């Protein structure tokens, strides 16, 4: 079985509701979404790595550096995944990613020194993320343009459900042992590898064709990450992703500090995080049913500005009800904009370079998610509640970048592969 493009403009491609979209999605797309949920349900290492290392006698500072290495490896893994599709194809990229992640996760239990632990942390971060561009590439390739936003909302829902449930499952496993915890994650990753091997279609690499008598031939700069950087509109879109992710992740770093500084119990922060999770899990598909018909630029800008407005409201002297209301605003912004921004790179890219566009956008979100919390905490230490006004300003910048980086299709500047 080969992977085929969905023909644009067909009736099957028309925007549809949640149930019909899922029912008519190809089996490989359903397999990818199910695999993502299984993988995230077993995603224990990042959450419990610090506790594991401290329990093994490593200093807390070293444990913190290991988590940072895991994050850096994740960004590198996303970029590697975008490149790897052109060399070995989608199915093999996913299977290799998950199989290697399973082996490295189990190996963490037996690391005898800090350098080995650091390498394993970086390795699991990279191996565990190589599959993401391949998964997004397959979903984009087998889904009609009018249904990509809804399908990527399902993709996000699977990720969010798994990410939300994983700490609870991990905590239950941890009552028995760390061995059960990490072997459980390894088993989940291996299950995804097997699922990918059995259910995903065989495909050819999307890289340059190789002549029978020589090396690959392609016009210089038409594919690869160099072509991504030459696409001026898409670079602006990447700037929008960077600003959006840096602002969005403040709820993980700056918000708990602000809640505590205003004299509220930690339970209040837990309620705010729960409100966000509930809105995303319960409402995102229903909202996407409407938003998928909006122009991509409108959906992205509306989502970014709503996130910025909700976070900016934290600068006001709010009580618990006000904090919840502000959280609802930015959570609604997340579910309005995120599915469209996740799907957009597939629309902006030429088919042969789609995996690099997807990888670049996912990596940029990872960079923002890594830099944003550190910058936010530093800004909080310097300016207190004024940091929320700064968040609003960064969100406004991101919205402007999205406006110019996501032009209507007929107004997009030619991609490097289209230039004469």
Average pLDDT over residues 70-77: 86
Q: Is 208 helix (H, G, I), strand (E, B) or coil?
A: coil
pLDDT of residue 374: 81
Question: How distant, in Å, are the alpha carbons of 147, 191, 243, 354, 409 from that of 239?
Answer: 25, 36, 6, 18, 19
The Cα 298–Cα 406 span in angstroms is 9
Calpha distance 117→136 (Å, rounded): 30
Measured distance CA(145)–CA(305) in Å, rounded? 25
What is this structure's pTM? 0.77
Confidence category of residue 409, pLDDT binned at 50, 70, 90: low
pLDDT(83) > 70: yes
**pLDDT greater than 90 at residue 98:** yes
In the block, tokens 């708990």 appear at: 256
The DSSP string of 289-349 is HHHTTS-HHHHHHHHHHHHHHHHHGGGS---HHHHHHHHHHHHHHHHHHHHHHHHHHHHHS
Q: What does the pLDDT look like over 165-195, one tens digit per residue?
A: 887 888 888 888 889 989 998 999 999 999 9
* Alpha-carbon gap, residue 193 to 158, rounded angstroms: 17
Q: How confident is residue 420, by pLDDT bands cut at 50, 70 and 90?
A: very low
The alpha carbon of 323 is separated from its chain's Cα centroid by a whole number of angstroms, namely 26
**Rounded percentage of the chain residues whose pLDDT exceeds 70:** 88
Our CA angle for 203, 206, 207, nearest 5°, is 140
Residue with tokens 């008598």: 213
Residue 101 reports pLDDT greater than 90: yes
323: confidence class by pLDDT, cuts 50, 70, 90: very high
Cα–Cα distance for residue pair 291/285, rounded to 1 Å: 10
In 3-state terms the chain splits into helix, strand, coil percentages (rounded to 5) of 80, 0, 20
Confidence of residue 206 (pLDDT cuts 50, 70, 90): low
Residues belonging to the chain: 420
What's residue 222's pLDDT? Answer: 59
pLDDT for residue 397:
97
Q: Which two tokens stand for residue 164?
A: 């939300």
pLDDT band for position 207 (50/70/90)?
A: low
pLDDT-based confidence at 60, cuts 50/70/90?
Answer: confident
Q: What is the dihedral of CA 196, 83, 64, 59, to 10 degrees?
A: 80
Chain segment 6-55, per-residue pLDDT in tens = 433 343 456 668 888 888 889 999 999 998 888 888 777 877 887 888 88
Confidence (pLDDT) at 45: 80
Among candidate residues 254, 372, 368, the one with its CA nearest the CA of residue 314: 254
Question: At which residue do the structure tokens 């042992």 appear?
Answer: 177
Mean pLDDT to the nearest integer, 218-232: 71
Output the pLDDT for position 59.
86
More confident residue, 302 or 75: 302
The pLDDT value given to residue 412? 53
* pLDDT value for 211: 36
CB neighbours of 274 closer than 8 A, spacing ≥ 6?
A: none
Beta-carbon contacts of 378 under 8 Å, excluding residues fewer than 6 positions away, are none
Q: What pLDDT, on the 0 to 100 scale, is given for residue 29?
A: 92
């Amino acid at each position: 079985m080969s992977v085929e493009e969905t023909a644009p403009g067909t009736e099957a491609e028309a925007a549809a509701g949640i149930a019909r979209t899922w029912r008519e999605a190809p089996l490989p797309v359903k397999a990818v979404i199910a695999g993502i949920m299984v993988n995230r349900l077993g995603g224990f290492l990042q959450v419990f790595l610090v506790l594991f290392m401290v329990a093994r006698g490593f200093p807390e500072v070293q444990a913190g550096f290991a988590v940072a290495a895991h994050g850096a490896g994740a960004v590198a893994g996303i970029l590697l995944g975008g490149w790897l599709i052109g060399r070995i194809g989608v199915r093999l990229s996913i299977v290799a990613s998950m199989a290697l992640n399973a082996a490295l996760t189990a190996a963490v239990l037996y690391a005898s020194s800090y350098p080995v632990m650091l390498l394993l942390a970086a390795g699991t971060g990279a191996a565990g993320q190589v599959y993401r561009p391949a998964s997004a590439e397959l979903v984009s390739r087998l889904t009609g343009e009018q249904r990509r936003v809804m399908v990527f909302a399902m993709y996000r829902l699977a990720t969010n459900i798994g990410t939300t449930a994983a700490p609870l499952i991990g905590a239950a496993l941890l009552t028995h042992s760390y061995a059960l915890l990490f072997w459980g994650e390894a088993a989940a990753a291996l299950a995804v590898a097997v699922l990918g091997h059995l259910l995903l279609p065989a495909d050819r690499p999307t890289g340059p064709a190789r002549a029978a008598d020589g090396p690959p031939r392609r016009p210089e700069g038409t594919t690869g990450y160099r072509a991504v950087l030459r696409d001026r509109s898409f670079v602006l879109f990447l700037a929008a992703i960077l600003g959006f992710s840096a602002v969005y992740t403040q709820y993980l770093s700056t918000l708990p500090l602000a809640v505590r500084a205003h004299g509220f119990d930690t339970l209040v922060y837990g309620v705010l995080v729960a409100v966000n999770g509930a809105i995303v899990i319960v409402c995102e598909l229903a909202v996407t049913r409407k938003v998928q018909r909006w122009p991509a630029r409108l959906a992205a800008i509306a989502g970014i500005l709503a996130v910025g407005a909700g976070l900016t409201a934290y600068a006001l002297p709010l009580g618990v009800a006000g904090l919840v209301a502000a959280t609802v605003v930015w959570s609604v912004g997340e579910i309005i904009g995120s599915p469209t921004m996740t799907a957009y790179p597939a629309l902006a890219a030429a088919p042969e370079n789609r995996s690099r566009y997807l990888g670049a956008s996912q990596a940029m979100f990872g960079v923002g998610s890594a830099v944003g919390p550190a910058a936010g905490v530093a800004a909080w230490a310097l300016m207190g509640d004024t940091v929320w006004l700064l968040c609003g300003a960064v969100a406004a910048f991101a919205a402007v970048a999205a406006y110019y980086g996501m032009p209507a299709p007929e107004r997009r500047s030619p991609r490097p592969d289209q230039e004469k």
